[in-house]
Chains A and B, each alone.
Chain A
Amino acid sequence: MPWFWEGLKTGVRTLRPGAVRLPSGVTPGRPTTTAVTARDRFDANICPVGALAGRDAGVAVDFDHCIHCMRCQPPKAPVHWQNDYRWAQAAAPPLPHRFQRSIHVRIVDAGDCGGCLSELRQLLGPVYSLHRYGIYVSPTPRDADVLLVVGPVTVGMRVALEETYAAMPDPKRVVAVGVCALNGGLFADSFAVMGGASRVVPVDVTVPGCPPPPLAILHALELVTGLSRETREVAES
């Protein structure tokens, strides 16, 4: 019981997107395609995964492959880093309207390094408090509407991922969280890794980053539900 009063005393810890400016550090930022004039100073090989390319007008960034190695941060490269987090992209329409009030997600760790899962845990935790959006983690795949996949799909996790997807009722959506789940990331060439989640299950929404911060994962869930009233007005710096 004393903890109950302690909780009340502490008050609200949850971030309120839209109401206040977000504290710096909720996102590490990301490199974006940049127009530069002195293009000759730029060496695309600084990017270990080939996500940067010199173009006539500047530097093009393929953020879907970026592993956040931070090697192209200014002043090391003439690349603009944007402090946003709306990184997700949808290839499928949102779930039908009736899902807007409450959806259940199932999380499968298909081989993650711990980073993406930790960001998911933060999203479920007190600061981001996913529950207030009516998004719940489902104890069983049979009640789940959305499958969140983190990590590259290892040979050992392929079957568990397939089975989880098959056990979920229709309609359902799959979100690939993090560059590993998108395309295998830095692990793509390993003999023990299948590659991105789409090698095993159909992927509807992707959110790149290594790891994508909690708000980027939330953005992906907004694209799944079509529910973005509250977070739409967030001031992005």
Chain B
Amino acid sequence: MNRTDAPRVGAPDAPAGREPLQMVSTSQATLPDTVRRLMAENHPLFIGLVVEHPTGSPPPHLQYVWMGPEARWLLVDVAMDGAVVPSITPTVFAADWAEREAEDLFGVNFAGHPQLGDFILHDEDWAERLAPMRMRPEPPAHGGGRDPYEPPRIVQAPGRFVMPVGPVFSGAQESVRFLLETVGEEIMHAHVRLFYKYRGLEKLMERQTPNRAVLVAERVNGMQAFAHGLAFAQAVEAVAAAVVPPRARALRTVLAEWERLRSHVGTLAGIVESTGLSVPANLLAAVEERLLQQSARYLGHRYLFGLVALGGLSRDPGDDALHALAEAGVEAVAAVQAVCHRLTFDNSFLDRLEAVGILPPPRAATLGLVGPVGRASGAPADVRCWHPYAAYDQHPVTPVIESEGDGYARFRVFRREVAASVDLIQRCAASLPAGPVQTPVPVVPGVGLAAVEAPSGALAYWVRIGSAGTVDRCHIMTPAFLNWHGLADAVRDFAFQDFPIIVSTLGLSVADADR
């Protein structure tokens, strides 16, 4: 792999004269110094680590990816010229899990990383050193695991014990396991054990046509299917330098905001439910179901599956449907605001959220939290502003920012973004361009990198199309993967009964992380 393999980025409107992608090549030995220098120059947002591990002669490469404002990407490219790579986690804590993943799935050896081993492939189920994501002709066999999992001991106090919860819960909840270390009432450390649901989707996409892989992308996280489909499509469009027609870009904006609206209403309902106030929780859940019904009525599918297509959209719902959506959005936001307004006067609600689950801005920045969770801790990152895609250049978004970083700040960000999304839907629906909604996307080999602001935050896809016109490599950098990393901090020193409330305010999806 050489310099010509720099990805094309999905930023068609990057300011003229500025190179939107800064690619810094470095050797393994100089990696930590290079990263320290770059981080001191500006403070980009860590997005992910892409491992390119092709069969054949070229050495594998590590590509650390950051994004910044004004459509800038930063890529640090490391050719693996030795057996052990110095970890950058001591400098960039947000890269902690990305490096653990690279070790587990690709067998990359890191030196100086605080904790490696059992992560995505649980030791009970998988043999050691399997590295299944390396390209090889045969899919790796599973089985052969042995040891039951023991989390590393963080708390050293006398009387320390571990309270395990999950992976199966009593309601309709996603599978994940929490191991809460404590000496009594308060959580002293929380181990989040994800990846029970690891589905190997990035491997599954390999050798699929982009037209099929987009269906897999949608189902990485069905609750944010449109965002995933869109990010994947934008990456493939970037490879081919395809220009999506104006109407499709406007409609993509409307649909992305519609999905954010529905997703945020669901998150708000979940937060209220976790505080035990069932009447307002039910009022909000009823709004969510109504939005799902309207999605099916006007757009064909309750979760917007099948709408994104390479080069635009698979069909045009028509102006009438879009105006109806805008109206439905206004209705929904009125209902949500009525409930939320009353909640702001309800002490039994406020007591459970205020000064609970605090992620102070400096800590949120260190953790590299994204999306509404990051914005509730003062982090301004919003892909819609930083890297305007679809029609966000014509309909700019002002990021919704709070600074307290507690559960209530997150609640307020979700609430305000609901209103902002409907506002944007209305603005877009009022000035819909005419024309086609899809353009053909030629199959061109190359690498594309694109990001969208999914309802839960920055979501990026790295897609390499091979000479056969199929996906050679896809890496999905999800907001949940970044934000789950912050859970341990958010719950530290809070009581057990606050745990489900704090988790709900983070609005985390397991499927989003467990690709």
Partner-B contacts on A (CB < 8 A): 2-4, 6-7, 10, 13, 23-28, 48, 67-71, 73, 76, 106-122, 124-128, 137-141, 151-152, 154-160, 164, 185-187, 189-193, 210-211, 213
Which A residues are in CB contact (< 8 Å) with B170? Answer: 137-140
**Complex: A156 Cα to B277 Cα, angstroms:** 34
Given contacts A4-B279, A109-B197, A125-B285, contact A115 B222 (CB under 8 A): yes
**Complex: A109 Cα to B172 Cα, angstroms:** 8
> Which residue from chain A places its CB closest to the CB of B197 in the assembled complex?
A111
Judge whether B114 is part of the interface by a CB distance below 8 angstroms: no
Q: What is the count of residue pairs linking A and B with beta-carbon distances less than 8 angstroms?
A: 210
**Complex: A148 Cα to B512 Cα, angstroms:** 22
Q: How far is the CB of A122 from chain B (nearest CB, A)?
A: 5
Whether B222 pairs with A118 at a CB distance below 8 angstroms is yes
Contacting residues of chain B (200-248) with chain A, CB-CB under 8 angstroms: 200-201, 203-204, 211-212, 215-216, 219-225
Which B residues are in CB contact (< 8 Å) with A107? Answer: 171-173
Whether A193 pairs with B199 at a CB distance below 8 angstroms is yes
Given contacts A10-B283, A25-B294, A112-B174, contact A71 B201 (CB under 8 A): no
Binary contact track B156-195/A, C-beta < 8 Å → 1, others 0: 0000000000011011111100000000000000000001
When the two chains form the complex, which single residue of B221, B283, B290, B315 contacts A114, counting CB atoms closer than 8 Å?
A: B221
Whether B199 pairs with A124 at a CB distance below 8 angstroms is no
- Which interface residue of B141, B199, B221, B290 has the most chain A CB atoms within 10 A? B199
When the two chains form the complex, which single residue of A25, A68, A189 contacts B297, counting CB atoms closer than 8 Å?
A: A25
Whether A3 pairs with B279 at a CB distance below 8 angstroms is yes
Q: A4-B279, A112-B222 are in contact. List 8 more A-B contacts (CB 8 A).
A: A7-B279, A73-B315, A114-B512, A127-B286, A187-B216, A190-B203, A191-B203, A192-B199
Given contacts A191-B132, A192-B199, contact A186 B286 (CB under 8 A): no
**Complex: A106 Cα to B171 Cα, angstroms:** 8
Given contacts A28-B300, A48-B212, A152-B199, contact A109 B293 (CB under 8 A): no
Q: How far is the CB of A218 from chain B (nearest CB, A)?
A: 14
Given contacts A25-B292, A120-B172, A187-B199, contact A113 B219 (CB under 8 A): yes
> Which residue from chain A places its CB closest to the CB of B283 in the assembled complex?
A10
**Complex: A157 Cα to B195 Cα, angstroms:** 9
Judge whether B342 is part of the interface by a CB distance below 8 angstroms: yes
Judge whether B351 is part of the interface by a CB distance below 8 angstroms: no
Which A residues are in CB contact (< 8 Å) with B219? Answer: 67, 113, 115, 185-187, 210
Q: How far is the CB of A77 from chain B (nearest CB, A)?
A: 12
Whether B306 pairs with A154 at a CB distance below 8 angstroms is no
Which A residues are in CB contact (< 8 Å) with B342? Answer: 2, 6
Q: How far is the CB of B183 from chain A (nearest CB, A)?
A: 27
Binary contact track B281-306/A, C-beta < 8 Å → 1, others 0: 01101101110111111001111011
Whether A157 pairs with B172 at a CB distance below 8 angstroms is no
**Complex: A76 Cα to B196 Cα, angstroms:** 38
Partner-A contacts on B (CB < 8 A): 122, 124-126, 132, 139-142, 167-168, 170-175, 195-201, 203-204, 211-212, 215-216, 219-225, 266, 277, 279-280, 282-283, 285-286, 288-290, 292-297, 300-303, 305-307, 314-315, 342, 346, 509-512, 514
Q: How far is the CB of A16 from chain B (nearest CB, A)?
A: 14
Which B residues are in CB contact (< 8 Å) with A192? Answer: 132, 142, 198-200, 203
Whether B168 pairs with A160 at a CB distance below 8 angstroms is yes
Whether A213 pairs with B142 at a CB distance below 8 angstroms is no
Which B residues are in CB contact (< 8 Å) with A138? Answer: 170
Q: Is the interface of B mostly helix, strand, loop or mixed?
A: loop
> Which residue from chain B places its CB closest to the CB of A112 in the assembled complex?
B511
9 A–B pairs (Cβ distance < 8 Å), ordered by A: A26-B296, A67-B219, A68-B305, A110-B175, A111-B199, A118-B223, A126-B282, A154-B197, A156-B197
Whether A28 pairs with B204 at a CB distance below 8 angstroms is no
Whether A157 pairs with B196 at a CB distance below 8 angstroms is yes
Whether A137 pairs with B140 at a CB distance below 8 angstroms is no
> Which residue from chain A places its CB closest to the CB of B223 in the assembled complex?
A114
Whether B302 pairs with A25 at a CB distance below 8 angstroms is yes
When the two chains form the complex, which single residue of A28, A186, A193 contacts B301, counting CB atoms closer than 8 Å?
A: A28
> Which residue from chain A places its CB closest to the CB of B295 in the assembled complex?
A25
Whether B306 pairs with A156 at a CB distance below 8 angstroms is no
Given contacts A69-B215, A112-B511, A114-B222, contact A160 B196 (CB under 8 A): yes
Which B residues are in CB contact (< 8 Å) with A159? Answer: 124-125
When the two chains form the complex, which single residue of A109, A126, A189 contacts B173, counting CB atoms closer than 8 Å?
A: A109
**Complex: A23 Cα to B122 Cα, angstroms:** 45
Which B residues are in CB contact (< 8 Å) with A23? Answer: 293
Whether A191 pairs with B266 at a CB distance below 8 angstroms is no
Whether A27 pairs with B171 at a CB distance below 8 angstroms is no
Given contacts A3-B280, A113-B511, contact A69 B305 (CB under 8 A): yes
**Complex: A196 Cα to B169 Cα, angstroms:** 21
Q: How far is the CB of A129 from chain B (nearest CB, A)?
A: 9
Whether A24 pairs with B296 at a CB distance below 8 angstroms is yes
**Complex: A111 Cα to B513 Cα, angstroms:** 12
- Which interface residue of A13, A25, A151 has the most chain B CB atoms within 10 A? A25
Which B residues are in CB contact (< 8 Å) with A109? Answer: 168, 172-175, 197, 510
